[in-house]
Amino acid sequence: MARKKKPTKAELLKAQIEADYKDSLDDNTGQLYNRFVAYIAEAKVPLYHALVVLDILQSEVLDQIKKKQGLL
């Protein structure tokens, strides 16, 4: 039976950095979500119009990503 290789300090550090980064991204995404919800509520515009604006933003972001990846 093969023994498991003990992770090196570098591997453990890398795993910890990746976990911390993922947690940070999750926190930032949650904060952004809360800001959008608060802004939409304060703007007092119909939700349909807010949805149209968010759809336009999504389309623009996807176009930027595609350009960056060389797909457009």
pTM for the complete prediction? 0.65
In a domain, 11, yes or no: no
Q: Cite the DSSP H helix spans in the chain.
A: 9-43, 47-68
In a domain, 61, yes or no: yes
pLDDT beyond 90 at 72 = no
Over residues 11-60, the pLDDT tens digits come to 999 999 999 999 999 999 999 999 999 999 999 999 999 999 999 999 99
In a domain, 43, yes or no: yes
CB 50 within 8 A of CB 43: yes
Give me the domain span that covers residue 38.
18-68
3-state secondary structure of 28: helix
Greatest distance between any 2 Cα atoms in the chain = 66
In a domain, 23, yes or no: yes
Overall domain count for the chain: 1
In a domain, 6, yes or no: no
In a domain, 52, yes or no: yes
